[in-house]
Amino acid sequence: MSNMDMTHMDMDMGDGHMMHMGNLKRKFWVSLILTIPVVLMSPMMGAKLPFQIMFPGSDWVVAILGSILFFYGGMPFISGAKAELQLKQPAMMTLISMGISVAYIYSIYAVIANDILHVTPMVNNFFWELSTLIVIMLLGHWIEMNTVMNAGSAVDALGKLLPQTAHVIADDGTATDVQLSDLHVGQVVAVRAGEQIPADAKIISGTSDVNESLVTGESKAVKKTEGDDVIGGSVNGTGTFTAKVTGTGDSGYLAKVMDLIQNAKNSKSKSENLANRVAGWLFYAALFAGILAFIVWMFVGNLAVALPVAVAVFVIACPHALGLAVPLVVARSTALAAQNGLLIRNRDAMEQVNKLKFALMDKTGTLTMGHFQVNHLISLDADHTDDDVLALMAGLESGSSHPLATGILSDAKGKNIHFTPANDTHQETGLGQFGDIDGTTYGVVSVAYLDQHHLDYDHDQFKAFAAEGNSISFLVAGEKVLGLVAEGDEIKPAAKMLVTSLKAQGITPVMLTGDNQETANKVAAAVGIDDVQARLLPEDKERLVQKYQADGKVLFIGDGVNDAPSLARADIGMAIGSGTDVAIKSADIILVASDPADVIQFLDLARATNRKMTENLWWGAGYNLLAIPLAAGVLAPIGFMLDPMVGAVIMSLSTIIVAINAMTLKIKPIAE
């Protein structure tokens, strides 16, 4: 959504019926102005108020103003009801329309009966209630729209982060400023100190501290060096660097974020659909109660008694608080999540949190930094030196973005090792990378590949390196093992806190990794995970997700291509934002900052959101469940009849309570 101007902000007023925000605002103000004389000139449930102005013909002035109010201010609700009834799904708009329509029709009848037929109705008219109800409903929807717009302001802020131009570096090294719209993937750009980064890119040379707070919610500057990805819209620090553009326009990170936020706001969660279903049930309940009350009071009294009672039931059933119960909370929650680097692609996922029993998570990039460095490099073949092994491995990994590949390439470049990029490369997921170099097919493979193909290697050496926490890859050519590299990773600072928090919430943490068992055990012990599954292929992870699902709801956290099936299979799939596109597209939730602490924030926000939804649904529906039978006269035998005006006031208060309750939703800061 590129333009959040009020005149372009649309609102769904029922299935298929849309209103512009500006139109809604105008309708509210016009209706409010018309309501003032109606309130001053019409009785409240037949009772003349001290400030009321009554004169001959005032009833007809009120009737004219009330008619304008009904057809102008109430029409959006009636149009929405028409759409719902065409689909044979009466819901919120139908219930609202029933209330205001009955109030209007009865009021016109009362004016005609009193002034023309000279028959005094039991209740003079409901114009006071009609006008205030319409204004309150329009105001409530305006509040809702403003809340949604506040969520959309996060999108606005993101859209304004990008600079207007970029410094493109030509092949001869000269820099030219081009408009951002003319920037293409693959071009090299220079980013100077203090500038905003023009597009998603990968640093080619230079280092700097990058402030990503406006994009990720992370306040600390992040050190970026050669090979690191940077996000368009983040602010460069004191350093300078050149980078190759990896995403612009619709393919850039910010565009994806804006789409995610917009899709999240436009999609309806189960709670919202439940609110509409409840409104549908209330419509039938009010219809049944109103008709039954009319019939009963016809026998007990007469038409003059029965009609006002039935009308009171229909008017009091108006469900504005219920209509706002979930949307206000969702809009607030979406805004908070976006501002804190939590992107919600599927809102239904939030409603699964209270039922979670297991949290399955990948190791590399999720619990660990994913920034590998070579700790051991050994040639296992007399014809190849250590540098030869490194050069061949770097050649095979030259086109890969896998963290292990990045570690090998960084080590080769640091040692000024010349390598030839491999041809015809292909990957066997979970096993290794293969390709041709100078006519020979080589592979950088895992120990699982060696075991699968029964290739010999030094098991004691492997266990010793793995016990240090290293991930180990082997260089193979045909049936021969030429060398190995042992790379170490660093555990993320918040990983242990995440595991501790999950356990405290009654959620069992489980590590699923393709790495070796020894390394997995070392990382698991460091963060406090007891259940560890290692040496897994993608299909193994997905199978384990299904296995754990047999015992309860499963959250899966991952970042790699091999995690995508598991992310899609889990009840809640959570992708680390720095992960692959395919993983992110398979997930329900995306953690932009790639910080395990954000998992805790998401769980806290989801629980708070669900709690607010439940509270608001009770406020919205509970009022109706209590007021409808009281208005119908169930307590009449003991002398109590609910005054429709009292019902209208209570309805107004419940609307305000629902709105305030939604706006008090907050994200709790994570204790360090």
The residue-averaged pLDDT of 298-322 equals 76
Is the model's pLDDT at 3 over the cut of 50?
Answer: no
pLDDT at 330: 77
Q: Out of 88-102, 443-457, 496-510, 524-538, which region has the weakest mean confidence (pLDDT)?
A: 88-102
CATH 3.40.50.1000-classified regions of the chain: 347-368+492-587
pLDDT at 50: 59
Q: What is the DSSP string of 437-477?
A: ETTEEEEEE-HHHHHHTT----HHHHHHHHHTTEEEEEEEE
pLDDT at 505: 93
Cβ atoms 167, 192 nearer than 8 A: yes
The band of 51, judged by pLDDT with boundaries at 50, 70 and 90, is: low
Q: Hunting for tokens 């998992």 — which residue is that?
A: 599
Query: What values do phi and psi take at 395, rounded to 5?
Result: -60, -40
The band of 252, judged by pLDDT with boundaries at 50, 70 and 90, is: low
Q: Is 44 helix (H, G, I), strand (E, B) or coil?
A: strand
Cβ atoms 185, 248 nearer than 8 A: yes
As a whole number of Å, the CA-based R_g of the chain is 33
The residue-averaged pLDDT of 650-661 equals 77
d(CA 645, CA 649): 6
d(CA 647, CA 69): 21
Q: Out of 236-250, 581-595, 640-654, which region has the weakest mean confidence (pLDDT)?
A: 640-654
Is the model's pLDDT at 432 over the cut of 80?
Answer: yes
Of 3.40.366.10, 2.70.150.10, 3.30.70.3270, 2.60.410.10, the CATH number of 165-259 is 2.70.150.10
pLDDT at 1: 34
pLDDT at 146: 62
Q: Out of 14-18, 112-116, 377-381, 479-483, which region has the weakest mean confidence (pLDDT)?
A: 14-18
CATH 3.40.1110.10-classified regions of the chain: 373-488
Instruction: Identify the residue with better confidence: 431 or 405.
Output: 405
The residue-averaged pLDDT of 550-565 equals 83
The band of 220, judged by pLDDT with boundaries at 50, 70 and 90, is: low
The band of 217, judged by pLDDT with boundaries at 50, 70 and 90, is: very low
pLDDT at 529: 95
Q: Is the sign of the CA dihedral 62, 64, 65, 68 positive or negative?
A: positive
The residue-averaged pLDDT of 202-228 equals 74
Per-residue pLDDT reduced to its tens digit, 323-356: 667 777 877 887 788 778 787 777 778 888 989 9
pLDDT at 549: 93
> How is residue 137 written in tokens?
């409903």
Cβ atoms 122, 306 nearer than 8 A: no
The residue-averaged pLDDT of 150-161 equals 50
Q: Is 551 helix (H, G, I), strand (E, B) or coil?
A: coil
The H or E element spanning position 512 is strand 508-512
Q: Hunting for tokens 């990382």 — which residue is that?
A: 523
Q: What is the DSSP string of 210-226?
A: EE-HHHHS--S-EEE-T
The residue-averaged pLDDT of 412-432 equals 85
- Cα–Cα nearest to 437, from 409, 410, 379, 477: 477
d(CA 189, CA 409): 22
Instruction: Please report, as a single letter, which amino acid is at residue 192.
Output: R
Catalytically active residues, by annotation: 362
Instruction: Identify the residue with better confidence: 174 or 417.
Output: 417
Cβ atoms 517, 462 nearer than 8 A: no
Class for the domain spanning 347-368+492-587: alpha beta
Buried b (16+ CB within 10 A) or exposed e, 203-217: beebebebbbbbbbb
Sheet of 175-179, strand order: 175-179, 165-169, 188-191, 241-247, 200-206, 229-230
Is the model's pLDDT at 77 over the cut of 90?
Answer: no
The residue-averaged pLDDT of 173-191 equals 85
Instruction: Identify the residue with better confidence: 219 or 288.
Output: 288
Of 1.10.760.10, 3.40.1110.10, 3.40.50.740, 3.40.50.2300, the CATH number of 373-488 is 3.40.1110.10
Q: Is 50 helix (H, G, I), strand (E, B) or coil?
A: coil
d(CA 531, CA 563): 18
Is the model's pLDDT at 260 over the cut of 60?
Answer: no
Cβ atoms 397, 405 nearer than 8 A: yes
Reduced 3-state DSSP string for 521-541: HHHHHHHCCCEEECCCCHHHH
The residue-averaged pLDDT of 102-127 equals 76
pLDDT at 416: 92
The band of 448, judged by pLDDT with boundaries at 50, 70 and 90, is: confident
CATH 2.70.150.10-classified regions of the chain: 165-259
pLDDT at 2: 36
User: In the predicted model, what is the mean pLDDT of the chain?
Assistant: 79
- Cα–Cα nearest to 612, from 661, 656, 655: 661
Is the model's pLDDT at 502 over the cut of 90?
Answer: yes
Q: Is 16 helix (H, G, I), strand (E, B) or coil?
A: coil
Q: Hunting for tokens 């707070």 — which residue is that?
A: 213
Is the model's pLDDT at 257 over the cut of 70?
Answer: no
